């Protein structure tokens, strides 16, 4: 290779490398998941010390109609675990006005374009393998699911039978 070409190639690499490095996916914000020290009661009330001291995942972005806008009403997610279970909690906020997406969901059950929560659990940290978990009553209308049962603070007890 001609020395002039080598110098030009080195200059190009030096100037392009920072842009390439900046374009890489950055790791997300870490969320420390602490072991529960006390008993977690499945009652929908997050008053246990483990929930109060848990790191909070917030600052969410919506995925519809655009995926680059912050959600107008934020959700708080917390995780903890014990020897048997992984516990996940969501606190969802809104302004209590009628929701178009909720009405749309009740009619045609579009679960990917409504207000719902779920989480992905990727045990291998490869962004390829894992599980997506979502609570099925997030498709409810006025607290009622298709079977017309009322869900409130104790919906978890209903799920456990």
Closest CA to 55 of 32, 39, 73, 35: 32
**111-139 tens-digit pLDDT:** 555 566 777 777 777 777 777 777 654 44
Determine how β-strand 118-121 pairs with β-strand 75-81.
unpaired
**26-54 tens-digit pLDDT:** 566 778 899 999 999 988 889 999 999 99
**73-103 tens-digit pLDDT:** 888 999 999 999 989 998 888 777 665 554 4
Distances (CA, A) of 145 to 95, 130, 154, 155: 22, 28, 14, 11
Is this prediction's pTM over 0.85?
A: no
SS3 47: coil
Distances (CA, A) of 63 to 12, 57, 90, 105: 37, 17, 18, 16
């Amino acid at each position: 290779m001609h020395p002039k070409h080598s110098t030009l190639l080195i200059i190009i690499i030096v100037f392009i490398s920072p842009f390439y490095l900046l374009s890489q996916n950055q790791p997300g914000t870490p969320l420390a998941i602490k072991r529960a020290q006390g008993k977690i009661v499945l009652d929908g009330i997050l008053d246990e010390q483990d929930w109060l001291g848990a790191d909070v995942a917030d600052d969410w972005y919506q995925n519809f109609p655009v995926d680059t806008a912050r959600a107008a009403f934020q959700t708080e997610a917390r995780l903890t675990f014990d020897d048997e279970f992984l516990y996940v909690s969501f606190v969802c906020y809104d302004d209590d006005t009628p929701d178009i997406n909720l009405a749309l969901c009740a009619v045609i059950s579009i679960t990917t374009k409504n207000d719902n929560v779920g989480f992905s659990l990727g045990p291998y940290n490869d962004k390829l393998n894992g599980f997506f978990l979502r609570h099925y009553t997030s498709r409810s209308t006025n607290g009622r699911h298709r079977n017309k049962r009322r869900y409130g603070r104790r919906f978890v007890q209903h799920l456990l039978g």
